[in-house]
Structure 1
Amino acid sequence: MILTVSAFPLDETPWLPVLWTRSARSTGEDLPPLVGLRTLLTRSHEISALAIAEPPAHSAVLRPLYALTARVCGLDEDDDGSGVDWSERRLEILDSGRLPADGIAAYFDAWAHRLRLFGERPWMQDPRLADQCDPKRSAGINKLVPTRPSGNNHAWFTHVQDGAPDPVPAGEAALSVLTWHYYGPSGRGSARTVGGTASASMKAGPLRGALSYHPEGSTLLETLLAGLLRPDPGVSRLNDRCMWEWEKLPDPDAPPPSVQGPCSRLTAVSQHALLLVPDPNDENVVTDAFITWAYRDGRLPRDDPFLIWQTSQQGNPYPRAADSKRALWRDMDALLLRNPGGTAQARRPEVFSDALEVSDALDTPLAVRALGFEQDGQAKDRQFVAGLTPPVLDRAEKANPATEPAVGWLRRTGELYGRRVEYAVRRACQLYTRETRPREAENWAERAAALYWPRAEEEFWSRFDALDLTGALLVEAGLDRDAVRQAFLRIAERAYMSVTEPVCHTQRGARAVADARTELHGGNRRTRS
């Protein structure tokens, strides 16, 4: 058995990094860089945002925080018996300027024993792994931390020794547990023996490789309230349980418990089971971990409400992937429009429909924060992905328009010239080298993309900000289409010339560059814009 020396209460112990608002800093108070869950909710109106450096950990933390916010506000049920509509109750809390102190006290007084990182029922963990896993074959602390290499894997983020790993502060270990629950890979984990049968095969987490989009306000209070999902009328808090609120731990040999509402949907959809091993000599440090499968058979539904969902050619829904090379503005029409069109049939994140009510009630509209992890289904973790838009949700579509939205046309035009310049420099390289697939072509395309996309993003936001607020999402909206085409074309031309200029000093190079330049205008492959 694994003995623990400290409970590490997450409601009281500082472990979540935060950024304080300017008004909070102006008081002269010595504000802590880390806070526990109780302080975080109590002072959410004085906190501007979480300061978690790793985007997948930030995304993973937000989901339990939304559930906690719903609980302490009584917004975990559609009807609280007061006769006041759910939306009105949420706006009343927003108007009050803070989360209800009595709700926070009542919840943490009732559930503090389930919010301990270590103990009989450690938070977001399965204590049965102490007996069901071989203690000599733990996962190791390096495998727990996503930014560390483990085994023979490459050191993408940090360099540590696998044979003598550094211990991890307990608060950071809690963030890693959450990251595993949402972004953990499929493949082999610690062997877990249940019912006499051992298995080490894990399924991927529900956010694996996906990009998550979160409405964000000027304070954490606004962000948390905007991130709430309205429960269906039949949802009951007695059945819609968070993972740490389960009366009994689920049977690993049985199908996963069904999702009953927003709280279980956000916090009880993990395919992984974990157990931290604390240092017996240091109550604030973790030295080892077990990581394995949560359910032998069956799979929880993958329908997270903070993702853009698309449809494959086979008719299967899938989330828009995290792509470190793709700027957030290129998703803007899929975030703001109900039906942005296109062959992928993208659907706006479900939470945005409810978030618009909060945005409309604020002096400054909500922005959108994107958080994700570029990964494959199994072992490869490539790159963190993060982005933050300006305040944009005042432009979000509240009803289906009869005509094509300007913001979608603006985005597609920017992408059109981005594709054209990459194709044009590849074509120029082919003509210059007289090879079908010259190795240099991809290098040219990468350089052109690096020059084009940042400037195209600036142009997009400039044009976006100039849209007519009284009809921002209609085709015209003050948008001069010819001027937009010319603006993106000029950016593409500058990128093209910068990449190809070194070969223009020869006659062959100059001809190749001149011939391929027509691709910026569509070449022989005219594309409707």
Structure 2
Amino acid sequence: MENRFNLIDEPWIPVVDHGRVSLRLIFSNPEYRSLGGNPVQKIALLKLLLAIAQAASTPEDEVEWRALGVQRLAERCLAYLDEWHERFYLYGEKPFLQMPKVADLIEKRTELKVNSATSGAKKKEAELNGEPKSLGAGFYPDLPSSNNTVLSHTLVERNLSDADKAIFVVSIMNFAFGGKRVEGDMDSLHGKLMGNRYSAPAGPSMGGWTGYLHSFLLTGSILSDIWINTLTESDVRKAAVWPQGIGKPIWEELPSSEGCEIANQYKSSYMATLVAMSRFSLLAGNGIYYMDGLNYPSTKNGWFESGLILDRSGSDIKTKYVDPEKRPWRELEGLLSFIDGNKTQGFDCLALRIGIERGREHFLQFAVWAGGLKVSVNSGDQSVKQSDDFVESIVWLHGAALGKPWIDQLKREMSDLESLSNILWSKVFSYFKSLKADNGKKKENTHAGKAASQAKHLFWQLCEREFQNLVDHCDQTDEAGVQRRKLRQRFADYIQQAYDKFCPRETARQLDAWAKCRPNNSKYLNQEV
């Protein structure tokens, strides 16, 4: 096959304010601020860039990491890309992150099915099943089902460009949805029998349930983002979860099957958390051959990625999941709980813990980014339905201000806002109950409960626009105290706005209920801040 569309030279990576750029340009231009695409694509692309950086120059410890610096790391990455240029073709004899052998397996299955067909219809069905599967819109890291519901123009099937196909292939390595849309009714490359309803596990970055939340430290420069998130050999040894250490990237030596020695060693390396290869695929025409790939242990078994947010305080390791109803910025104080020195409670994220220490030393400002995709699960099949959605939040921090007083103040402010939102819920609920709007048994399923939940959601949406301002004024100066009091007045106004939005006062009965149930924010406003 002809080698073409080399990812080092061709523009395919979305970059804010610059459009599509190549890998070579990413490592050559410090002015690129941030990656584009949806949150899953951003995570997958950042992981790929980190894998290249780790392969090009993994420092031994923090001293070596500091000496490496952004510019030297970029230069070594460029040298690495030149050395491995032949392995970055999207199409060819060794297509990037793809397994040409899967086409032979599917061809063999198709031939057997066609030869054993008892009718023309069965023969035609076997031939169609042997064709490459559609990539759909390429928006999600998954193939469309035969009865896929189109909710917006972003889900309409289309012929993807080579650049979009490259992003799709990179995304499915870590974030492939679990389910039955992989090839089945055949033996795998390792000889495992896969029935015609074979269900593949989800990619490790997605997780087998509703979708993991990921978090990384960002700096406002893609090159600096790569540098600050690059782990050292010492970091990997201390984590004690990847027996093979950093490892080498999968494109340097592809496994022959999902159970070969190369695959087993790769799954035990840190590199596998960056580019997982959870699907064996091959682009063909406008479609893709799509099979189950490398399977990974769950976080309960101790395997994890540096960007995952884990709670180890109990007997079982818990992982933070994506929740569109509670956007990540609302849990910032939990993500940063390690700042106050308490290591036994709250969530911990290896990427944040290492990154923030570095950020304090080398940057005046840096940001905590968190994001992911919420999915639904039905009999092992993951899909995007109803309220499922992408989420992401970015909050900028001043390194000099971070410390126990700052995090304690942030915790207090967020706790008070949470109390305020709960009061709003109860007041809206009481308003409708006083009007005898319904008599449902479960509060959340009644009209009153739904209206109360919507009001609460609106309140948090309004608060989000001021959250960065709150974070900037959680230090203990007099000026910060003045600003926090102004913000409290604004948040109290948002409570009234949300209440008025969902509790009309057009009739005498409504006006009486509105006045009786109206939230009183005096306690919140009169507290010392």
Give the CA deviation at 1:366.
Answer: 0.8
Aligned in 2, Cα 1:40/1:373: closer, same or farther, shift over 3 Å?
A: same
Q: Secondary structure at the match of 2:148?
A: coil
Corresponding residue for residue 28 of structure 1: none
Query: How far apart in 1 are the matches of 2:339 and 2:478?
Result: 17
Query: How far apart in 2 are the matches of 1:317 and 1:90?
Result: 30
Kept in 1, the 8 Å contact 2:176–2:202? The answer is yes
Q: State yes or no: 1:173 paired with 2:180.
A: no
Corresponding residue for residue 373 of structure 1: 373
Corresponding residue for residue 271 of structure 2: 263
Give the CA deviation at 1:330.
Answer: 0.5
Kept in 2, the 8 Å contact 1:144–1:289? The answer is no
Query: How far apart in 2 are the matches of 1:373 and 1:90?
Result: 32
Aligned in 2, Cα 1:520/1:151: closer, same or farther, shift over 3 Å?
A: farther
Q: Secondary structure at the match of 1:276?
A: strand
Corresponding residue for residue 82 of structure 1: none
Corresponding residue for residue 394 of structure 2: 388
Kept in 2, the 8 Å contact 1:16–1:36? The answer is yes
Q: State yes or no: 1:17 paired with 2:14.
A: yes
Q: How many pairs are equivalent?
A: 473
Query: How far apart in 1 are the matches of 2:339 and 2:409?
Result: 13
1:403-432 superposed Cα distances (whole Å, 9 cap, x missing partner) = 972212222221221232123212321221
> Which stretch of the first structure deviates more once superposed, 510-519 or 423-432?
510-519
AA at the equivalent of 1:385: V
Corresponding residue for residue 134 of structure 2: 141
**Which of the numbers 456, 461, 466 marks the counterpart of 1:449?**
456
AA at the equivalent of 2:94: R
Kept in 2, the 8 Å contact 1:333–1:340? The answer is no
Unpaired runs of at least 5, structure 1 = 21-31, 79-85, 280-286, 523-528
Q: TM-score, normalised by structure 1?
A: 0.77
Give the CA deviation at 1:203.
Answer: 0.2
AA at the equivalent of 2:147: N
Kept in 1, the 8 Å contact 2:496–2:519? The answer is no
AA at the equivalent of 2:389: Q
Query: How far apart in 2 are the matches of 1:141 and 1:56?
Result: 20
Q: State yes or no: 1:182 paired with 2:157.
A: no
Q: Secondary structure at the match of 2:435?
A: helix
Kept in 2, the 8 Å contact 1:185–1:205? The answer is yes
Give the CA deviation at 1:159.
Answer: 6.1
Kept in 2, the 8 Å contact 1:336–1:395? The answer is no
Query: How far apart in 2 are the matches of 1:120 and 1:225?
Result: 32
Corresponding residue for residue 307 of structure 2: 306
Aligned in 2, Cα 1:267/1:470: closer, same or farther, shift over 3 Å?
A: farther
Aligned in 2, Cα 1:19/1:497: closer, same or farther, shift over 3 Å?
A: closer
Give the CA deviation at 1:140.
Answer: 1.8
Q: State yes or no: 1:38 paired with 2:24.
A: yes
Q: Secondary structure at the match of 2:371?
A: strand
Corresponding residue for residue 288 of structure 1: 287
Task: Please list, as runs of the form range in 1=range in 2, the aligned pairs for 1:493-504 lying within 5 A after superposition.
Answer: 493-502=496-505
Q: State yes or no: 1:88 paired with 2:63.
A: yes
Corresponding residue for residue 97 of structure 2: 124
Give the CA deviation at 1:394.
Answer: 4.6
Query: How far apart in 2 are the matches of 1:370 and 1:238?
Result: 26
Q: State yes or no: 1:207 paired with 2:205.
A: yes
Task: Please list, as runs of the form range in 1=range in 2, the aligned pairs for 1:319-338 lying within 5 A after superposition.
Answer: 319-338=319-338
**Which of the numbers 193, 198, 201 marks the counterpart of 1:197?**
193
Aligned in 2, Cα 1:521/1:181: closer, same or farther, shift over 3 Å?
A: farther
Q: Secondary structure at the match of 2:390?
A: strand
Corresponding residue for residue 426 of structure 1: 429
Give the CA deviation at 1:521.
Answer: 8.7
Q: Secondary structure at the match of 1:291?
A: strand
Unpaired runs of at least 5, structure 2 = 111-127, 524-528
Aligned in 2, Cα 1:339/1:112: closer, same or farther, shift over 3 Å?
A: same
Kept in 1, the 8 Å contact 2:215–2:352? The answer is no
**Which of the numbers 64, 69, 74 marks the counterpart of 2:48?**
64
Corresponding residue for residue 284 of structure 1: none
Corresponding residue for residue 23 of structure 1: none
Task: Please list, as runs of the form range in 1=range in 2, the aligned pairs for 1:331-350 lying within 5 A after superposition.
Answer: 331-338=331-338, 345-350=345-350
Query: How far apart in 2 are the matches of 1:213 and 1:386?
Result: 9
1:363-410 superposed Cα distances (whole Å, 9 cap, x missing partner) = 53111222311212433223121222234555444xxx5997221222
Kept in 1, the 8 Å contact 2:54–2:246? The answer is no
Percent identity reads: 20
1:232-258 superposed Cα distances (whole Å, 9 cap, x missing partner) = 376999971222123543444888446
Aligned in 2, Cα 1:518/1:42: closer, same or farther, shift over 3 Å?
A: closer
Q: State yes or no: 1:513 paired with 2:514.
A: yes
> Which stretch of the first structure deviates more once superposed, 457-466 or 56-65?
457-466
1:301-335 superposed Cα distances (whole Å, 9 cap, x missing partner) = 6412112223697x432332222332332021123
Give the CA deviation at 1:37.
Answer: 1.3
Query: How far apart in 2 are the matches of 1:480 and 1:17?
Result: 38
**Alignment RMSD (CA, Å):** 3.8
Give the CA deviation at 1:482.
Answer: 8.4
Q: Secondary structure at the match of 1:207?
A: coil
Corresponding residue for residue 24 of structure 1: none
Corresponding residue for residue 146 of structure 2: 151
Kept in 1, the 8 Å contact 2:339–2:407? The answer is no
Give the CA deviation at 1:5.
Answer: 3.7
1:336-379 superposed Cα distances (whole Å, 9 cap, x missing partner) = 2217899x943232112221243224453111222311212433
Q: TM-score, normalised by structure 2?
A: 0.77
AA at the equivalent of 1:87: E
Q: Secondary structure at the match of 1:201?
A: coil
Q: Secondary structure at the match of 2:34?
A: strand
Query: How far apart in 1 are the matches of 2:249 and 2:390?
Result: 27
Corresponding residue for residue 29 of structure 1: none
Q: State yes or no: 1:275 paired with 2:268.
A: no
Give the CA deviation at 1:71.
Answer: 2.9
Which one has a larger percent helix, Structure 1 or Structure 2?
A: 2
Query: How far apart in 1 are the matches of 2:362 and 2:245?
Result: 33
Kept in 2, the 8 Å contact 1:406–1:479? The answer is no
Corresponding residue for residue 473 of structure 2: 466
Give the CA deviation at 1:261.
Answer: 4.4
Kept in 1, the 8 Å contact 2:325–2:457? The answer is no
Corresponding residue for residue 25 of structure 1: none
AA at the equivalent of 2:225: T
AA at the equivalent of 1:88: V
Give the CA deviation at 1:514.
Answer: 4.1
Kept in 2, the 8 Å contact 1:139–1:288? The answer is yes
Q: Secondary structure at the match of 2:338?
A: coil
